[in-house]
Amino acid sequence: MNLQRQTSCKIAVLLGTSVGFSVHAAEMVKVNDNKLLFQSLRAQSTSITPLETGFSEIKKVVLPNGKTKVRYQQTYLGVPVFNTSVVATLSNNKPSDVYGVMAKGVNRDLPSITPKLSEKEAILAAITSHQILANNNHNIENKNAKLMVKLDDNQTAKIVYLVDFFIASEHPERPFYIVDAINGDILEHWNGLNHAKASGMGPGGNIKTSEYIYGLDFDGLPISKVGTTCTLENAAVKTVNLNNATEGNTAYQYNCIDDDNYNYFRYVNGAFSPLNDAHYFGNVVFDMYQDWMNTSPLNFQLTMRVHYGSEYENAFWNGSSMTFGDGKDRFYPLVDINVSAHEVSHGFTEQNSGLVYKDMSGGINEAFSDIAGEAAEYYLRGKVDWIVGSDIFKSEGGLRYFDQPSKDGQSIDHASQYYDGMNVHFSSGVFNRAFYLLANKPNWGVRKGFEIFTLANQLYWTANSTFDEGACGVVKAAEDFGYTFKDVENAFNSVGVDASCGSPIPNDNVLIKWEPITDLSGSENSKTYYIFNVDKASTVMVSMAGGKGDADLYIRANRKPTTSAFDCSSNRSGNDEMCYLYAQPGITYYVLIHGYTRYTKLTLRLD
């Protein structure tokens, strides 16, 4: 027992709902049980076979304040469970502040996880279904199938394959299919090709931006050179000239006979060299993620493919590379800093939260890429215009707007305007505007806003996150960084999104002034909550005393406290604890009694 534990006040992290296992079929539940995760991880370390309920580490993040956060995906008999995520703070190899969502009762639906279909058969079923729906037979690339457990709309657990592939054509697609691994039925499908619907700049810029020269107006292009051959490639980024084709993966090479290593290739549609722009901006995006988040945007080299198709007015991420068209009437070549960061960040999202590219999760997916575009613009220039793709848009304005998304005539400003099936580019307006409002608050800014949205993507968002769930993740990320989470909640409230993380207000356990609650007891690591309100502003004291054991006291305004997220705490040895705070009317104060060890006969009071 630590005899030096002292009273302290700070603001930090997390809340959750404990897991209780019912006799019903499978269902998704929220998790905040430290012991559940710890015991599972400990059992996994000594087991030679997969556990029925396990957790696989998929991301570890060390924050600037030294805190280590780990994201786990639930497994069932070793198979990943779709749309599950549990996040914990890791200290001395022990998890705490656990929060997330997992599936319970899977074993009642799935006594076995042995598929009847092979990966090849699942891919064939998906491709066949797509060819029937799309009535085409184009070249198919990048075929993938991953065995998973997924709860369907009726909360029945099924063993499935998540299948995706890329179709290279003048109208490229990247279909995703959920295929039943037992009978081959198509359970769900969506198009995951992440289009930017924006435009890009050229090295040397374009007619709208005016020409500039890399190496004079900006830093030089980071290239490779062997003899008199220069290649647009380095450890971080490779840039490919598709030369109006739809396939190709070879880094662009050119003859460079002097130390200038000058690349003139090639002027198109008002842009002086989209290849140079793509290469330069790709490296800017890589550096931003590395400098600000201490991570690479992708777990492999960035590939920027330029001059896709003929007069193609779009850009996309296909699961392995970023691809940019040359534009035509509406856009200059689509290689500006916004679009470059946008497409790279679709890859970041796919390799982290895996937000499904439809419904609300698709809107969050698009918004994160837009946000990354503005962040990269700020990283490069030290300022932002809050317009997506203004440099490549041939008319005035741009593709999307952060201050008022509805300026484009289609995007929404508020969650109340959302409807099922809305285009993800238009529903992105909700999170875009929330980011804009947050970044423009005092003591915030573009970088701090990007940090918490990115950490939410790494740790808290799941495949099917709703607006409320996504906002909750951003709030938790703000707490992890030690930023003012209330500003985040207010920004989301302004666009109709509830970022409170669904914190329930207890119907009982009300603490009343001068009416002590006696004979309280709890086990080690138990959590017992009370609430209180005041009629007028005053200084109050919450105290505990008596009995045996060691319980600690935590208080927080408007949200449940945890052992690391509180407004006031008292955690001395024994049960004698007290907290003073200035309480105000209209605020609900949450009190947590945490069992540091087992305790009995404790008295709690408000004075």
Query: Which distant-in-sequence residues (6+ apart) come within 8 Å of 32 by Cβ?
Result: 14, 15, 16, 17, 18, 98, 99
Which residues does residue 525 pair with via DSSP β-bridges, in sequence order?
none
SS3 labels along 144-171: EEEEEEEECCCCCEEEEEEEEEEECCCC
Q: What angle do CA 300, 303, 306 make, to 5 degrees?
A: 170
Strand 27-31, strand 94-104: pairing: antiparallel
Residue 298 to residue 236: CA distance in whole angstroms: 10
On the CB side of 33, CA atoms within 13 Å amount to 15
DSSP conformation letters of 78-111: TEEBTT-EEEEEEETTEEEEEEEEEEE-HHHH-S
Contact 266, 273 (CB under 8 A): yes
Give the residue from 278, 447, 275, 470 showing the smallest Cα distance to 363.
470
Residue 515 to residue 130: CA distance in whole angstroms: 67
Helix (H, G, I), strand (E, B) or coil at 244: coil
Residue 120 to residue 117: CA distance in whole angstroms: 8
Q: Looking at residue 591, what DSSP letter applies?
A: E
Q: What angle do CA 433, 478, 453 make, to 5 degrees?
A: 45
Residue 41 to residue 21: CA distance in whole angstroms: 19
SS3 labels along 280-345: HHHHHHHHHHHHHHCCCCCCCCEEEEEEECCCCCCEEECCCCEEEECCCCCECCCCCHHHHHHHHH
Residue 58 to residue 506: CA distance in whole angstroms: 34
DSSP conformation letters of 253-273: EEE--STT-------BTTBS-
- For the record, the structure tokens of 261 come out as 């290593």
Query: Which distant-in-sequence residues (6+ apart) come within 8 Å of 285 by Cβ?
Result: 297, 302, 337, 340, 341, 344, 345, 372, 376
Q: What length does the chain have? A: 607
Provide, for the chain, the percentages of residues in helix, strand and coil under a 3-state DSSP scheme, each rounded to the nearest 5. Answer: 25, 30, 45
Check whether the bond before 605 is cis (ω within 30° of 0).
no
Contact 604, 569 (CB under 8 A): no
Which residues have a catalytic role annotated?
A: 343, 425
Which residues does residue 542 pair with via DSSP β-bridges, in sequence order?
579, 606
